[in-house]
Chain A
Amino acid sequence: MYSYFIRRFLLMIPTFIGITFLCFTVTRFVPGGPVEQAVLRYQQAMANTSEGGGGTSDSAMEQGQISEEMMQQLKAIYGFDKPFYIAYLHWLWRVLHFDLGTSDTYSRPVWDLIKEKFPISIIFGLTGFTLSYLICIPLGVWKAVKHGSAFDTGSSVMVFIAYSIPGWTAGVLLLMLLGGNAFLDIVPSGGKESGYITEKSKLSMFLQQGALAVDLPAEIRSQYPKLRDNQQISANHPAFAHVPSEKRFQLKTGGHADLNFVGRLLDSMWHMILPVFCYVLGMFASKTVLMKNSLMENLGQDYVRTAFAKGLSERTVIFKHALRNSLIPIATGLGHMLSIILAGSYLIEKVFNINGFGLLGYESLIARDYPVTLGILVIGSMLKLFGNIMSDVLYCIIDPRIRFS
């Protein structure tokens, strides 16, 4: 048993190396990488300046040509100066020290970017995941108990519909229908929080007291050089405490940060409705059917017959005997939770413009920001590998009959 898990852990190493090596190699050998893009940017910049009439004397510079020396420097910046296997080993060595490199577009450590975006995706995904369990398990159980009834048939129609429409597609559709674009205006049209709350918005009743930045005492003011004179600050701002009480006033308009706790919570929840619905829709069909079939299978087993024969009530047989056993395949799915959430996030975050992990991955691909791309791949594949092991562990914990070898 333990040897099985040790073997699984050891197997993670070649898997991880295989995945990252494959993708690292692809980023190396296909034209249009960061060095080429930098050269292109440089040439465009040069073309613009020479059009502007700046008479540079160097003719090579004027044409935007790049000397061999500069090319070497550029390659060194992006780590393209070494053969790819050496570069891969260097990269792997740094990854083992939790250094995923620096993003080309954001000029920030990739690790920081991921740490910043990851919780956003997790909040959306986890809410969807939990909700889908809360909906699918009772529904599946009820469908199995009432197998063949009108309720079963009716909910099967729903399952078919949910199966035939990918969650993110429904997201685009609902954004058009409900997002205030073509028909109704009852949900926000994307993002994770309101940017600007007008007086008309119902959220404006949750706005806090505020003050103008100009009213701050000078020594406090100098700590926040980014504030403009007429900029509002709300009670959530750390400097607010220093504003004299007579200068404070009730805010009429403002952003997400100017709301009080309840307002911020409501605002976030309001923005979560559609994305979370999409996550749930994406998992709805398969999970409901899995739950139903699993329970149906158990209800046909001999031990259920025995339980009935010894005179237990239907409720006890179903909920105490059959349901427990039929939850096993559903529960092992929990291990893959994070990788399922991340797989959904690439599309759903693009649709709803949520600035999370998935959108970061998408944008890094568009911008050919390879350090970020590879960083996301590292995190994604690590989560998937741990997910595989987690589901095996869960299997062992839940079902004592299982012995891996």
Chain B
Amino acid sequence: MIETWNKYKKIFNVIALLIAWAGLYSVMPAIGEKGINPSYTTEAVIALVLAAGFVVYILPLLVSGADSFRIFITSPIFRRRWGKFKTLKRGYYAFLLIIALFVLSLFAEFFINGNAIMVKYQGSYYFTLFRFISARTFGMRGYGNPNYRMMKDVFSVRNKERAERIKAGNASEEDLKYEQWGDDWVWLPIYPYSPLESLLDELPTRPPHPPTWLTGEWRKAYIGESLYQLPDSLPTPEEITEKFKRPDWVDLEPAALYLEMAHAGMLKLKPEVREPGTFQHILGTDDRGRDVFARMVYGFRTSLSFSLVVTFCCYLIGITIGALLGYYGGLFDIIMQRFVEIWSAMPFLYTVMIFAAIMIPNFWMLVVILVMFKWMGMTYYIRAEFLREKSRDYVSAARAIGCTDGAIIFRHILPNSLTPVISFAPFAVVADIGALVSLDFLGFGLPAPTPSWGELLGQGLANLTKPWLILSPTLAMFLTLLLVSFIGEAIREAFDPKQYSRLR
């Protein structure tokens, strides 16, 4: 791996420079909007300088680090421990399940999305999943993003009407063209609702809407907004006892009687009310009428990617600094240790809250803020590992045959000191998910429309009578954290086994 890299170093560096430049430049306008950064040229130059710095100073570190990680995971001792991990069924299956769910959630757009995957209209095919196509293109009203669910219904009605016209022999010119084109169709994802899409126009009652299979809750909402068609006259006592077979309803006031009848499903909704299907919104909608299930799935993706990125960055910084401290020691070690000590004395949650509240961060800024106050944890372990490994014979041997410091660090010591990294990672992921959910709950997390569990919990706290707003995020978070901690437990047992011996 490292040999391939060295062989094509120049090409790879240029590619990395371009990617980093483009990436940094695309992040920059976010700063520019706030008036710190005046012009695009300046932005491009700053991005180029930063990208060059990245390629010269950080990229070699990353590549060598990745190579040490490769040495670490291909070593026989890792293989043996991994074999042990595989035998711990609970942790191993939790690991497979989380990986599968995460990979699946990366493709969530294909399963849970208000945009259609593909549309056939007048003989042409449109791939609509990631593209904005005006509603007008498909012969619908308006210039915005079309409502593909409605379009599917409209298309099927039009198709049917056209078939009838052709059958009756009074086909128009367009109808004849359709003979060649074939029928129009819309290919919707399995769960055709987006996490950001407000469904206020499509659902009859006010949000938050209950899960659609909770018929009783819906009926309550229908009564609350008088969407029922009341009969012309009150049912007579005889009708109630004989037709409805509910003698206990006879003495009820009219309002209470209608309530009971609505609950029993005996009343009809007004004709203009469109009732949702039983499994249309399986977890209901939130207080802005957005589908909760879609938000949960996208929230899972956001939480997990966020925590993985934060853990990765924290470990990158922690390992680098810990390795430098442990390997070089001396004055640098003393000063830096004091600094780490000072930095860890910050009240973590409140400092992060201050930064997040004042800066109103996006995803990457929030990552930076969290990493800024969390990277210290790993330095202690790596520093201790380096201090221990440095005095081993194989390091002296490596030095005797003339290895450089870089080679000793990356090829010899680092692969031997990565065990704590592996065994702490799952618990760090749990902590990061918790931190993100807490920040989102307090309203200092990801910006407003981003689907997130914490934001949903915050809504739940404001609507305590709507259990689906609380149960869904709590359960989702509980199950995710449980799976991750199963993994953590199994990894700890496989990688850091403590054999407790007892006399009796």
- A residues at B contact (CB < 8 Å): 11, 14-15, 18-19, 22-23, 26-27, 30-32, 147, 160-161, 163-166, 168-170, 172-173, 175-176, 179, 181-183, 189, 293, 296-297, 299-300, 304-305, 308, 314, 339, 342-343, 346-347, 350-351, 361-362, 365-366, 368, 373, 376-377, 380-381, 384-385, 388
Instruction: Name B35's closest neighbour in chain A (CB-CB).
Output: A31
CB pair B353–A173 under 8 Å, yes or no, is no
Say which residue of B347, B348, B461, B485 sits within 8 Å of A164 (CB atoms).
Answer: B485
CB distance from B471 to the nearest CB of A (A): 7
CB distance from B219 to the nearest CB of A (A): 17
Contact A161 B482, CB 8 Å, known A11-B341, A169-B437: yes
B141: CB under 8 A from chain A? no
CB pair B358–A27 under 8 Å, yes or no, is yes
Say which residue of B338, B464, B500 sits within 8 Å of A147 (CB atoms).
Answer: B500
A368 to B485, CA, bound (A): 37
Contact A346 B465, CB 8 Å, known A176-B460, A373-B354: no
B328: CB under 8 A from chain A? no
Contact A172 B437, CB 8 Å, known A343-B348, A365-B357: no
A281 to B357, CA, bound (A): 27
**Could you write out 10 A-B pairs with CB less than 8 Å apart?**
A26-B354, A26-B355, A161-B478, A179-B464, A182-B465, A343-B348, A346-B349, A346-B350, A377-B354, A381-B347
CB pair B482–A11 under 8 Å, yes or no, is no
CB pair A172–B353 under 8 Å, yes or no, is no
Contact A19 B349, CB 8 Å, known A147-B502, A299-B500: no
Identify which of residues 464-480 in chain B touch chain A, using a CB-to-CB cut-off of 8 Å.
Answer: 464-467, 470-471, 474, 477-479
Say which residue of B434, B442, B500, B503 sits within 8 Å of A362 (CB atoms).
Answer: B442
CB-CB under 8 A from A368, the residues of chain B are: 358
B438: CB under 8 A from chain A? yes
Say which residue of B444, B457, B481 sits within 8 Å of A172 (CB atoms).
Answer: B457
CB pair B500–A173 under 8 Å, yes or no, is no
CB pair A14–B342 under 8 Å, yes or no, is yes
By Cβ-Cβ distance, the 8 closest A-B pairs, closest first, are A181-B464, A164-B481, A380-B347, A164-B482, A365-B357, A15-B342, A296-B500, A30-B358
CB pair B358–A166 under 8 Å, yes or no, is no
CB-CB under 8 A from B503, the residues of chain A are: 304-305, 308
CB pair B485–A163 under 8 Å, yes or no, is yes
CB pair B357–A300 under 8 Å, yes or no, is no
Instruction: Name B435's closest neighbour in chain A (CB-CB).
Output: A166
CB-CB under 8 A from B34, the residues of chain A are: 31
Contact A23 B351, CB 8 Å, known A172-B470, A300-B502: yes
Say which residue of B345, B441, B464, B486 sits within 8 Å of A384 (CB atoms).
Answer: B345
CB pair A376–B467 under 8 Å, yes or no, is no
Q: What DSSP secondary structure best describes chain B's contact surface?
A: helix
CB pair B474–A172 under 8 Å, yes or no, is yes
**Chain B interface extent, by class:** 35 or more
B96: CB under 8 A from chain A? no
- B residues at A contact (CB < 8 Å): 34, 338, 341-343, 345-351, 353-355, 357-359, 430, 434, 437-438, 441-444, 457, 460-461, 464-467, 470-471, 474, 477-479, 481-482, 485-486, 489, 498, 500-504
CB pair B485–A346 under 8 Å, yes or no, is no
A163 to B482, CA, bound (A): 8
CB distance from A268 to the nearest CB of B (A): 22
Say which residue of B444, B461, B467 sits within 8 Å of A365 (CB atoms).
Answer: B444
CB distance from A405 to the nearest CB of B (A): 13
Contact A173 B474, CB 8 Å, known A31-B34, A182-B467: yes
CB distance from B287 to the nearest CB of A (A): 15
CB-CB under 8 A from A305, the residues of chain B are: 503
CB-CB under 8 A from A373, the residues of chain B are: 354
CB-CB under 8 A from A32, the residues of chain B are: 358
Say which residue of A179, A300, A314 sits within 8 Å of B500 (CB atoms).
Answer: A300
CB-CB under 8 A from A166, the residues of chain B are: 434, 437-438, 477
Instruction: Name A169's closest neighbour in chain B (CB-CB).
Output: B474
A160 to B427, CA, bound (A): 12
Say which residue of A165, A308, A365 sits within 8 Å of B354 (CB atoms).
Answer: A365
